[in-house]
Amino acid sequence: MMRKRKLITIIIAALCLMCGCSNGNSRVEVGHTSTKEETVAEQKVDFDDAESFETALNAGENLEGKVVRFVASEVHPQSIKGYNVWAGEHLNFVSARNPDIKQGDTVTVVAKTIESGMGSWFIYYDKISSVPAENATELTTCLKSEVSETTEVITEEPANDTYESNSYYDVVETNVFKNSIGSTEIIDKVLAKQTGGLEATMIVYSPDGKVIGKYSDDIFVTEGKYNYFRYSFDADVSNAKFDKTVRTTSSIFDGDINAVEMVDYNQSEDDLYITFKQVADDLGPFAKFKLLFYKGDKIVYTEDGYFSVYAENLTGKDTTDVASIWVFGTDYDRFEYIFEP
């Protein structure tokens, strides 16, 4: 049975977003994206039922930020994406935390992030608190939010939070190199201060201010452990300016946070063979390995892959399997292993 893991949350006073600036056009939005109760006023419900909301989605409308009311047809608390509330034909309202919604409840939410996949819509949302029936269409400008089950309070001032250093991590190393097809890879290695899901985006501008590239990467960081953001650009970015942002996400993971260890490795011709051992009972279906290859003190290559694909014989605690990684043309003298749940 898959198991939901708690993500560390942040108490803040307004929209649960912290913004800051640093030198070099970088900014940060480090906040918690999850189910919250919001007190609201003076904003009407945009969609009174799931059917009209789904019809608009299918028509290609951008509905992020819209308010929708729906009836929960089913509630699935142990889905891959977390707490999944079904509505309409193909609507999945998902959250990392228990939304306190029961089958048959009428719920009003603000759609925050909407994703499409497998023929369905996945909506990450903020739950709006109940209002009297006579005022049911008079809803929000966000005045306050309440986040329950807080496990840690972050006290840093928002102005101190930057892309390079914030409440979730510090960038400890940055490397730039060309990959085998000539694209520029930028690697920001981070050391995590707390555990949670993050999504970073880098927009690249030419010296005359034109956008010449954009790349995003989402990772899951574990307190005290290393991980990295990877960005790839086809354009020449040697004289470019960079606008870097990062935000928390409602990433859901199953299994133990340190479920697999690397116990051995060897290279034979162009193949690197890594022996992995599962050291915990639960290995989530999306758990992956990430590798940083070094030549001297420089990162020269990265590789990653899901254990379910590369090491499918990890089927329980104390089982082992070997992953085969093709490293043709990679000149390295060591590599680092990172586990990402």
pLDDT at 186 over 80: yes
| Mean local confidence (pLDDT), 175-204 | 93
On the 0-12 / 13-18 / 19+ scale of CB atoms within 10 A, 251 is buried
Token readout for 263 is 């116990």
Question: 100: alpha, beta or left, given left = phi > 0 and alpha = psi -120 to 50?
Answer: left
What does the pLDDT read at residue 57? 93
At residue 82, what are phi and psi to the nearest 5 degrees?
Answer: 105, -140
pLDDT at 259 over 60: yes
Between 125 and 15, name the one with better pLDDT: 125
| Mean local confidence (pLDDT), 234-253 | 85
Question: Residue 30 — pLDDT band, cuts 50, 70, 90?
Answer: low
On the 0-12 / 13-18 / 19+ scale of CB atoms within 10 A, 264 is exposed
* Of 81-95, 135-149, 191-205, minimum mean pLDDT range: 135-149
What does the pLDDT read at residue 166? 92
DSSP assignment, residue 65? Answer: T
* Of 126-135, 150-159, 187-196, minimum mean pLDDT range: 150-159
Between 338 and 251, name the one with better pLDDT: 338
Domains in the chain (CATH in brackets) are 19-33+152-249 (2.60.40.3230), 37-146 (2.40.50), 260-340 (2.60.40.3750)
